[in-house]
């Protein structure tokens, strides 16, 4: 294998985006590593090499057109974008034809399966099962198959797989191929030697090699994505996990190729002919997919144009309400679920001001529990924590109790728990299950239970932060937050979810911040901003916080819409406002969760919401961030009068006070990327649930504690969103449209920032998202260094 071939294989592994484990679950664009190419090009290539679907079926778009969700003008405009000119009637007829059957690239295992007798196990299915089960064993923290004493002496994936597989006589029996096991014993011991052998024997040239390698990794995309996460986290690159996985997949291909040839199988010649033709015609194959997908690309673009038109009309036609001096201020995460609650809260009084701010509240922290080795990130996965926070004092009894609860919960969430726990605990556990069914109560993760009245120790590189350091940190946050006049009470509102018996629970917490709630962040920030020494230093920096202003840490429960304030008793009027806002938000959400709750009283509806959240059989306690479609960076007064239906991320921003547009640059290079990740995860979980969704959560089993889930007891590792998070069983609850970003800022400032950052430019110029400048009643799109009306 020469350097060029090695480089092509490495590039193939770099095309796989990471997928975070269950306990740190965040939303990720599954195609993140491909954003340097146009979205349409990527969609076409993935369709050709892996059968991946980036668009919905034609009939879905036609039905939405007939319902009025796609308008004729937008459809005509979308057709023109792709060079299709036709009268409306003929355009509809042309675009309504079903797609032709598209055949993706076939690996050696797939070609062998075409000729395989129906009474034999499929090569493809058995390979997926064997590799997936092996990875599950290999990557659990202490693996019995590794014969390891600790998690520090783990051998690499490929040699471990080879040593186990050469002893596994069961493969020959399951596949009904008696001599198969002998082929594994001829495989080389290193990945480089294996790659050289495969490239030579399968006659892979530099045109076909990268497609083939990428296709093999996408064939086991769940584990590929998890291993990409391990490499994302491993800055030292002690093991090239994805290269090992690719070697295993190629090893299986070589074994089949040799086995069928050696045993003079009648299929061997036809497989070799098909393989040769496929390699020679890969470019024509991709071109065929491009042509066939044209109609659904037009429909998808027309849907996006239609939604953008409606939102643009909303933004430019409402009457603005100038900002007022607030009696109560509440700073919420930009999460789309906050928009519903903010709107309900603002309806209570004109003296209430809400603001939107990034959900980790600008704190680049990790939380490390005192008297414990446990730590977790409290910021977006794109960023690295630079500050550590822990309790300066803690209740030892509380800590020990929570550790005991954590061990119990870990056992209870294991895949075989429903059997082993009942068998071990006998009738007592059966009574516990019965009690939980009839008298359910909240089951929070022990890791999220903080002792009350926590005092915080804040360190960087092992050294405590000084008051000046804390003030500098606080200044950056307050500048970005943009509060001009501080109310007596300023709520800092993080958010978390409230579910029971839910392996994907962390995915309903903050969609960006490592699968954690924002409780630690708001508590630490409130402590900082209420600290007299910090306020004194802030004065010297030009930030004057009135002495009677108090920052209050709070948490918005997105499942029940309750808002809890920590370590503070609210004024009766403020408490009433929050209660009425909760009732209003619950009533709005009831339309999608359970329409029967619209006809009951506020208190009955509230009780029903609590019951849903505690119900351990509830498969969709809330809709999470489903149906998100836009990110608005603008002062709240410009959107306060609008019902954005819980579909928009809202980040407050005042261009007039942003010196050199440094804050805007941070927004476009961090929160915008995070919202794009969330949007694309939801989009692709809908358009291709097999590759990018995690299937039916009723069938989920945890893998290795927190690695991920199997659907049932086998197959590939499932990533992305469960079906119950995006569908009500009849309709999609998320509309797959690419994110539209609206920014109330000068056009030159936006253009300058985009020019400085390749990642941002790729997202915009390659159509992974839409970027608009919003100035009063004018909205213009920025695309490929030009402003378009």
- Decide if 528 contacts 473 (C-beta within 8 A): yes
3-state secondary structure of 495: strand
E strands, 426-531, in order: 456-460, 463-464, 489-496
Q: Which residue do the tokens 């195609």 mark?
A: 31
**How far apart are the C-alpha atoms of 568 and 28, rounded to whole Å?**
36
The secondary structure of 27-40, three-state, reads CCCCCHHHCCCCHH
Write the CB contacts of 172 (distance below 8 Å, at least 6 apart in sequence).
178, 179, 180, 181
Q: Is 495 annotated as a binding residue?
A: yes
**How far apart are the C-alpha atoms of 473 and 471, rounded to whole Å?**
5
CA 725 to chain centre: 12
Q: Which of 516, 533, 406, 517 is CA-nearest to residue 458?
A: 533
**How far apart are the C-alpha atoms of 320 and 364, rounded to whole Å?**
35
Q: Is 561 annotated as a binding residue?
A: no
3-state secondary structure of 740: strand
Torsion over CA: 310, 315, 321, 325 (sign): positive
Q: Is 335 annotated as a binding residue?
A: yes
Q: Is 567 annotated as a binding residue?
A: no
- Decide if 360 contacts 513 (C-beta within 8 A): yes
- Decide if 585 contacts 605 (C-beta within 8 A): no
Q: Which of 757, 525, 569, 784 is CA-nearest to residue 664?
A: 757
- Decide if 468 contacts 541 (C-beta within 8 A): no
Angle of helix 467-481 relative to helix 519-530, nearest 10 degrees, comes to 110
Q: What angle do CA 734, 737, 739 make, to 5 degrees?
A: 110
Tokens of 79: 């057709």
Write the CB contacts of 77 (distance below 8 Å, at least 6 apart in sequence).
302, 305
Half-sphere exposure of 691 (CA within 13 A, CB side): 23
Tokens of 335: 């999460």
- Decide if 38 contacts 766 (C-beta within 8 A): yes
**Could you tell me the maximum CA-CA distance found in the chain, to the nearest angstrom?**
88
Pick out the residues of the known binding site for Zn(2+). Answer: 333, 335, 495, 510
Pick out the residues of the known binding site. Answer: 333, 335, 495, 510
């Amino acid at each position: 294998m020469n350097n060029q071939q090695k480089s092509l294989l490495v590039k193939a592994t770099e095309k796989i985006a990471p997928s975070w484990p269950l306990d740190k679950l965040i939303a990720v664009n599954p195609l993140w590593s491909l954003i340097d190419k146009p979205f349409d090009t990527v969609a076409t290539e993935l369709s050709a090499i892996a059968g991946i679907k980036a668009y919905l079926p034609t009939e879905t778009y036609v039905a939405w057109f007939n319902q009025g969700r796609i308008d004729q003008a937008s459809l005509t405009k979308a057709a023109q974008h792709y060079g299709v000119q036709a009268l409306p009637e003929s355009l509809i007829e042309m675009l309504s034809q079903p797609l032709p059957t598209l055949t993706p690239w076939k690996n050696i295992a797939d070609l062998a399966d075409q000729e395989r007798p129906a009474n034999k196990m499929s090569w493809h299915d058995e390979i997926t099962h064997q590799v997936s089960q092996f990875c599950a064993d290999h990557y659990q923290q202490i693996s019995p198959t590794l014969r390891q004493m600790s998690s520090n002496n783990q051998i690499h994936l490929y040699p471990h797989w080879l040593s186990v597989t050469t002893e596994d006589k069961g493969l020959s029996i399951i596949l009904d191929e008696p001599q198969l096991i002998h082929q594994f014993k001829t495989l080389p011991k290193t990945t480089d030697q294996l790659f050289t052998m495969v490239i030579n024997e399968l006659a892979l040239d530099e045109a076909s090699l990268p497609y083939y390698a990428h296709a093999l990794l996408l064939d086991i995309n769940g584990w590929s994505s998890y291993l990409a996460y391990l490499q994302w986290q491993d800055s030292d690159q002690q093991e090239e996990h994805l290269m090992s996985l690719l070697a295993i997949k190629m090893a299986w291909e070589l074994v089949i190729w040799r086995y069928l040839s050696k045993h003079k199988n009648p299929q061997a010649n036809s497989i070799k002919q098909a393989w040769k033709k496929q390699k020679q015609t890969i470019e024509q194959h991709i071109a065929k997919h491009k042509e066939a997908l044209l109609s659904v690309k037009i429909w998808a673009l027309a849907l996006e144009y239609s939604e953008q038109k409606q939102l643009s009309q909303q933004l430019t036609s409402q009457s603005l309400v100038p900002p007022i001096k607030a009696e109560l201020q509440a700073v919420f995460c930009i999460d789309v679920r906050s928009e519903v609650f903010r709107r309900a809260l603002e309806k209570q009084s004109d003296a209430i001001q809400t603001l939107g701010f990034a959900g980790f509240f600008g704190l680049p922290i990790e939380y490390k529990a005192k008297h414990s080795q446990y730590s977790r990130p409290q910021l977006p996965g794109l960023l690295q924590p630079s500050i550590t926070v822990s309790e300066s004092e803690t209740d030892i009894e509380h800590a020990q109790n929570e550790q005991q609860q954590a061990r119990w919960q870990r056992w209870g969430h294991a895949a075989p728990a429903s059997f082993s726990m009942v068998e071990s605990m006998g009738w007592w556990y059966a009574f516990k299950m019965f009690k939980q069914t009839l008298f359910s109560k909240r089951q929070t993760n022990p890791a999220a239970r903080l002792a009350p009245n926590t005092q915080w120790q804040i360190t960087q590189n092992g050294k405590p932060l000084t008051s000046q350091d804390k003030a500098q940190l606080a200044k950056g946050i307050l500048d970005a937050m943009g509060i001009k006049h501080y109310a007596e009470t300023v709520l800092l509102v993080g958010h978390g979810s409230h579910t029971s018996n839910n392996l994907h629970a962390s995915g309903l917490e903050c969609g960006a911040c490592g699968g954690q709630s924002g409780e630690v962040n708001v508590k630490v920030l409130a402590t900082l901003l209420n600290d007299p020494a910090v306020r004194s230093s802030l004065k010297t920096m030009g930030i004057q916080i009135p002495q009677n202003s108090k920052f209050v840490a709070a948490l918005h429960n997105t499942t029940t819409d309750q808002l809890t304030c920590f370590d503070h008793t609210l004024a009766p009027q403020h408490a009433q406002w929050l209660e009425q806002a909760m009732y209003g938000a619950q009533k709005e959400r009831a339309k999608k969760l359970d329409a029967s709750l619209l006809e009951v009283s506020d208190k009955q509806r509230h009780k029903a919401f609590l019951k849903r959240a505690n119900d351990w059989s509830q498969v969709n306690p809330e809709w999470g961030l489903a149906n998100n479609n836009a990110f608005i960076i603008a002062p709240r007064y410009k959107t306060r009068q609008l019902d954005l239906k819980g579909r928009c991320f809202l980040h407050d921003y005042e261009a007039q006070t942003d010196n050199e547009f440094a804050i805007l640059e941070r927004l476009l290079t961090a929160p915008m990327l995070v919202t794009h990740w969330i949007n694309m995860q939801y989009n692709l979980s809908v358009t291709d649930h097999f590759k990018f969704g995690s299937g039916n959560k009723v069938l989920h089993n945890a893998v290795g504690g927190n690695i991920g889930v199997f659907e049932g007891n086998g197959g590939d590792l499932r990533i992305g969103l469960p079906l119950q998070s995006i569908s009500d069983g009849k309709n999609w609850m998320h509309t797959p449209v690419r994110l539209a970003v609206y920014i109330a800022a000068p056009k030159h400032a936006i253009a300058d920032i985009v020019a400085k950052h390749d990642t941002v430019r790729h997202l915009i110029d390659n159509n992974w998202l839409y970027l608009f400048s919003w100035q009063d009643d004018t909205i213009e799109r920025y695309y490929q260094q030009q402003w378009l009306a």
